[in-house]
């Protein structure tokens, strides 16, 4: 009964979106990964751009890692892009370019969890698996007045069981898309449009007046603050980028040479002096800086400072590491960078700064405390 009312509502006027006009598992997969942690209005331009660059799984598998990351730039959670790229190669090499229909086979692929596997299996292949994303969790928690935190292990188990019970096994693709649409358009987090909801009469939260109290969520606390001072080292034409090859959320992305601090203290002259001497820089001009740019990550907060360091030496004469790359300022935007670094590039106005007059040499010992 609930599913029939839900599907009728959905069919009467759902949003026209490109991934809803296809049963292609590749495009459905791309859309679901992009829309994790991302609203549709933000994700749609990324989806269109990504599909234009990589129209099928073969094109994605053949692409360079840096090109995939650049297409993903701005979406955050870059492990999603890395997993997309890795899984595309698995699909091509192991499955000859054909996505598995089996839910459990999909779960074996990198970056595909229960939600994404259920979405691809149900929407592309009409398999009876119920999706459970943030929108669906909110609908179900209100529909049944579930007070267990939706982001707890127990809460997820209860919600998944309810989602399975509600699923229309003969029309899982329509049912799942209708549930997600209801959560996005009607059962909103802060201002639910209960008067327009097709499930209003059976909603326990609405009938008891507690819809704004649900869903219940456990709070995730930022457990660590890290201060980073980025050095935008330039000779007026080129600049040094640093590629992160170690693990972490910025793996394979580019940023600038940096000094990381585990306390809230600012960079000292002595620390900067040691860092710049590693490059062979003894004279410079500090022509731009900013402090305390906040960037929230999972369980961490970054406080970022930066300084533009103009040196009279050609960068090719400096001592750089194997992870560092000297690039022209004009090409800077071609490289995939985290949003924080993108913001620093904008604030520092690199293009304008590097075209100023040739800097007057300044001793490193004259640099003020930052």
Residues labelled as active-site residues: 32
Rounded distance between C-alpha atoms, residue 250 and residue 336, angstroms: 10
Compute the chain's Rg from CA coordinates: 25
What would the DSSP string read from start to end of 326-350? EEEGGGGGGS---HHHHHHHHHHTH
Rounded distance between C-alpha atoms, residue 73 and residue 338, angstroms: 7
Rounded distance between C-alpha atoms, residue 296 and residue 340, angstroms: 10
User: Is the CA virtual torsion 96, 101, 107, 112 positive or negative?
Assistant: positive
User: Is the CA virtual torsion 347, 368, 311, 287 positive or negative?
Assistant: positive
Angle at CA 17, nearest 5°, toward 13 and 21? Answer: 90
Angle in degrees, 0-180, between the axes of helices 172-185 and 114-125, rounded to the nearest 10: 120
Q: Which residues pair with 308 in a beta bridge?
A: 232, 288
* Contact present, 139 and 182 (Cβ < 8 Å): yes
């Amino acid at each position: 009964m609930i599913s029939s009312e839900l599907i009728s509502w959905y069919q009467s006027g759902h949003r026209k979106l490109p991934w809803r006009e296809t049963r292609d598992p590749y495009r459905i997969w791309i859309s679901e990964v992009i829309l994790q942690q991302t609203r549709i209005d933000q994700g749609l331009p990324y989806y269109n751009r990504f599909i234009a660059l990589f129209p099928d799984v073969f094109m994605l598998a053949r692409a360079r890692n840096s090109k995939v990351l650049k297409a993903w730039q701005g979406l955050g959670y870059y492990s999603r892009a890395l997993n997309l790229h890795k899984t595309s190669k698995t699909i091509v090499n192991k499955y000859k370019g054909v996505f598995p229909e089996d839910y459990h086979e999909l779960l074996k692929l990198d970056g595909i969890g229960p939600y994404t596997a259920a979405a691809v299996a149900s929407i592309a292949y009409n398999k009876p698996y119920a999706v459970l994303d943030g929108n669906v969790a909110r609908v179900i928690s209100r529909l049944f007045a579930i007070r267990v935190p939706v982001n707890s292990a127990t809460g997820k188990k209860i919600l998944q069981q309810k989602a399975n019970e509600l699923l229309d096994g003969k029309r899982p693709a329509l049912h799942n898309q209708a549930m997600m649409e209801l959560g996005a358009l009607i059962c909103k987090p802060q201002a639910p449009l209960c008067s327009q909801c097709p499930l209003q009469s059976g909603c326990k939260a609405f009938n008891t007046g507690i819809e704004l109290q649900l869903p219940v969520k456990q709070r995730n606390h930022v457990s660590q603050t890290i201060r980073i001072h980025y050095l935008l080292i330039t000779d007026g034409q080129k600049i040094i980028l640093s590629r992160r090859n170690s693990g972490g959320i910025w793996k394979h992305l580019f940023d600038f040479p940096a000094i990381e601090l585990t306390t809230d203290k600012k960079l000292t002259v002595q620390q900067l002096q040691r860092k710049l001497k590693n490059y062979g820089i003894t004279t410079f001009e500090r022509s731009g800086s900013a402090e305390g740019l906040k960037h929230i990550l999972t369980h961490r907060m970054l406080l970022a400072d930066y300084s533009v360091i103009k040196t009279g030496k050609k960068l090719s004469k400096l001592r750089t590491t194997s992870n560092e790359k000297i690039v022209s300022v004009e090409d800077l935007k071609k490289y995939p960078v985290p949003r924080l670094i993108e913001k620093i590039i904008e604030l520092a106005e690199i293009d304008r700064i590097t075209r100023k007059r040739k800097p007057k040499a300044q001793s490193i010992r004259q640099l003020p405390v930052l």
